[in-house]
Amino acid sequence: MHGFLPSFYKDRNMNHHVTGFQQLQEDHCSIPDSSRPKRLPTGDEDIMELLWRNGQLVVQRSTKKFGGGGEVEVPAEQLTVKGIRSTAEEQHLFMHEDEMASWLQYPIDDSSFDRDLYSDLMYSAPLPTTPPPPPPPPPPPPPPLQAPVIAIAPPRPLPAQKPEFSPRFQNFVHFSRIPCRQSVEPISKPFATAARESTVVESNETPAVGRESRASLLDFRTQMNTEGGTAAVDARATGAGKLAAGTCEFTVSSSPGGSGSSFSASGKPHLQTRKPTPAEERKRKSREADENECRSEENEDYELGSDTNRQERVFAASSSKRSRAAEVHNLSERRRRDRINEKMKALQQLIPRCNKTDKASMLDEAIEYLKSLQLQVQMMSSMGCGMVPVMYPGMQRFMPGMGMGMDMAMSRPMLPFPSMQLPGSGLPNQATPAAHMGPGFHLPAFHLPPVLPLPDSSRIQAVSSLADTMLNSLVSLDPNQPRMPNFVYPYQQFPGLQQVAQLPLPQNQAAALPSTTKETGNMGNQRSAG
Amino acid sequence: MSSRRSRAQSTTGSSRISDDQIIELVSKLHQLLPEINRSNGRRSNKASANKVLQETCNYIKNLHREVDNLSDRLSQLLSTIDADSPEAAIIRTLI
């Protein structure tokens, strides 16, 4: 717990609890020896000044309400009992102009008066939706950089539950404008991270403190601008990238005068990650009924300049009701799209040698790869049956080590019906027993003999000849509806081939490839027909 | 819908991927996937892209595992048989 008591406390050589303070605040900036306003935990919202008088802390009500009214003696024990807590508490209370930094710090523990003053101020928006991840102390007063934001968007009607919002807030604005940034940083450093962490709704996703402060900026805007429900919604959206980018958007728009360089500088890289959102904002303005098309937004090109965002947001501010509903919709849409995009990326990583980036070709690749994998697994699982590994065009690049040989083999034109056709016609009937993995079935015996006449052939040719044999034998079969319509014509045998390839799959492998049940059903029809 | 598509086309001059194309691809993928039916039957015509993609990822991982298992078994099998036999050649092609 850090607080900062002015060094003059130290100088006064006060009693023991001063040293307690002293430990905490050695590195803090010194505060001029004017009074330190401190609010006692009385629930009183007046600004009390804590003064050192006669060797004791006394509390003096602020002149605001009482014109310098009475004093209340605060026994030192009260402070000592609280000890470190009180030091933490008092930090944020200082309304002294020179101590602008003071109220930037906030106590770690949540005492009631803190909450009265600040939690309503800064925390109302996040609290109903998502509690901040750490134990929720009230958020810090906004860093001075946010002052322009607040000043810009004050005219929005403030939420009803914060009746004292505006006057207090104005005070804060006033104080925040005081340039004391240098002192802010070292002092608030122990708190800043915690403060921002508490402020930021999704801080656990944004490790950078900078981002968190931007998010707290976002929260402020949320409260100032009910229209900034988008902002709040954005803040709560999944993904740190979106959060940061969303905040960066707002900083761009709301702090044109140049918020901290950290904001604008780091805002730009995030802008690129925010592709879906500008499109969503666009759509929000021009709502269409069929926006609910499930995949309709997937193909959007979401590149938009920040200028468009700014204009759209300005426009959004004026139509709150419609856009609020639209925001919810947009949020859900964005979430859905993000999930889909995540899965597309995951899929892309699963597919080997996939260098495509657009959705359609990636889906194409996925389909091909999935088929080839299925086939491969079937082949391998039935390897004991001696089934030939069969491939069809498009699959070759997925097979390891197949390389050029198989390409050449597979691209050979289909042989005319060889003499093998005769045994081939018996193939379908034999295929059924072959479907069961076991010793005695005809298929391997049928296929091996063609290999024998080619003792010197490379294994690739052997395999290809086997494949051709199989293919040819399949031609006699009724080529069922092809599963790959795009492969049908030059390689008409392949669709049927695939069925045969799936034939040997034993029934007990249904768990692995339950899709083969479809195929066996087809083959059942085929056999009955043939 | 038309405005969205025109927007897509206007912004991406070269890549004109239609929504229907995507939908078709997703449904194709959906057909490839093994469907785990519920006990009382289940309509398989719903294919939300999200679910299909998720299932595809899982399925591909499963298939990878299968391939690995089978490769192990095949290599074991290969060690047991005569290395010059055609079966061995076949097995080698698979691994």
Which residue is closest to B72 within chain A, CA to CA? A380
- Rounded Cα distance between A57 and A78, Å, is 10
Q: How far is A372 from chain B (nearest CA, A)?
A: 10
DSSP letters spanning A159-208: PTT-TTHHHHHHHHHHHHTS--HHHHHHHHHHHHHHHHHHH-TTGGG---
Partner-chain contact A367 B53, CB within 8 Å: no
For residue A114, the Cα-to-chain-centroid distance in whole angstroms is 32
Which residue is closest to B22 within chain A, CA to CA? A360
Average pLDDT over residues A113-125: 51
pLDDT tier at A331, thresholds 50, 70, 90 = very high
- Residue B56 has its nearest CB partner, among A366, A377, A380, at A366
pLDDT tier at A101, thresholds 50, 70, 90 = low
Spatial CB neighbours of B4, under 8 Å, sequence gap ≥ 6? A283, A288, A291, A296, A297, A300
A5 vs A373: which has the higher pLDDT: A373
Residues of chain B positioned with their CB less than 8 A from the CB of A370: 29, 32-33, 56, 59-60, 63
- Residue B90 has its nearest CB partner, among A359, A371, A388, at A388
Which residue is closest to A380 within chain B, CA to CA? B70
For A194-223, write each residue's pLDDT tens digit: 444 444 444 444 444 444 444 444 444 444
Instruction: State the average pLDDT for chain A.
Output: 51
Is the pLDDT score of A447 beyond 80? Answer: no
- Rounded Cα distance between A170 and A147, Å, is 10
pLDDT at residue number A332: 93
3-state secondary structure of A73: strand
Residues of chain A positioned with their CB less than 8 A from the CB of B89: 459, 462-463
Between residues 487 and 516 of chain A, which touch chain B (CB distance below 8 Å)? 512-515
A375 vs A414: which has the higher pLDDT: A375
pLDDT at residue number A330: 92
> Which tokens in the block code for residue A445?
């015996």
Q: Which of A424, A482, A418, A425 has the alpha carbon at shortest distance from A453?
A: A418
Are the C-beta atoms of residues A357 and A345 closer than 8 Å to each other? no
Interface contacts (A, B; CB < 8 Å)? 155
DSSP state of A456: T
pLDDT at residue number B53: 86
User: Does the model's ipTM exceed the 0.85 cut?
Assistant: no
B50 vs A73: which has the higher pLDDT: B50
- Rounded Cα distance between A218 and A203, Å, is 12
Which residue is closest to A458 within chain B, CA to CA? B89
| Of the listed ranges A163-177, A384-398, B18-32, the one predicted with least confidence | A163-177
Q: Which helix H or strand E contains A36, and what residues bound it?
A: strand A36-37
A383 in reach of chain B (CB within 8 A): yes
Is the pLDDT score of B83 beyond 50? Answer: yes
The bridge status of strand A48-53 relative to strand A71-74 is unpaired
A336 in reach of chain B (CB within 8 A): yes
> Which tokens in the block code for residue A115?
């909450």
Is the pLDDT score of B67 beyond 70? Answer: yes
Are the C-beta atoms of residues A437 and A506 closer than 8 Å to each other? yes
pLDDT at residue number B56: 86
The bridge status of strand A36-37 relative to strand A56-61 is unpaired
The bridge status of strand A71-74 relative to strand A56-61 is antiparallel
Are the C-beta atoms of residues A328 and A346 closer than 8 Å to each other? no
Is the pLDDT score of A370 beyond 80? Answer: yes
Partner-chain contact A377 B3, CB within 8 Å: no
Between residues 294 and 313 of chain A, which touch chain B (CB distance below 8 Å)? 294-301, 303
Spatial CB neighbours of A263, under 8 Å, sequence gap ≥ 6? A145, A210, A214, A217, A248, A251, A255
Tell me the helix, strand and coil percentages in chain B, rounded to 5: 70, 0, 30
A454 in reach of chain B (CB within 8 A): no
Partner-chain contact B89 A463, CB within 8 Å: yes
Partner-chain contact A381 B67, CB within 8 Å: no
Partner-chain contact B1 A293, CB within 8 Å: yes
Residues of chain A positioned with their CB less than 8 A from the CB of B91: 383
Are the C-beta atoms of residues A352 and B63 closer than 8 Å to each other? no
Spatial CB neighbours of A87, under 8 Å, sequence gap ≥ 6? A1, A2, A3, A4, A5, A20, A21, A24, A25
- Rounded Cα distance between A25 and A3, Å, is 6
Read off the pTM: 0.35
Is the pLDDT score of B18 beyond 50? Answer: yes
| Per-residue burial over A38-51, b = 16 or more CB atoms within 10 Å of its CB, e = otherwise | bbbeeeeebbbbbb
A354 vs A274: which has the higher pLDDT: A354
Q: Which helix H or strand E contains B52, and what residues bound it?
A: helix B49-80
Q: A124: buried, middle or exposed (CB in 10 Å: 19+, 13-18, 0-12)?
A: middle
- Rounded Cα distance between A367 and B33, Å, is 10
Average pLDDT over residues A242-253: 41
A440 in reach of chain B (CB within 8 A): no
A71-80, A338-347, A505-514: range with highest mean pLDDT: A338-347
For A375-392, write each residue's pLDDT tens digit: 888 877 776 555 444 555
Residues of chain B positioned with their CB less than 8 A from the CB of A359: 17, 22
User: How far, in Å, are A131, A212, A228 from residue A123 at the CA level?
Assistant: 9, 14, 15
Residues of chain A positioned with their CB less than 8 A from the CB of B33: 370, 515
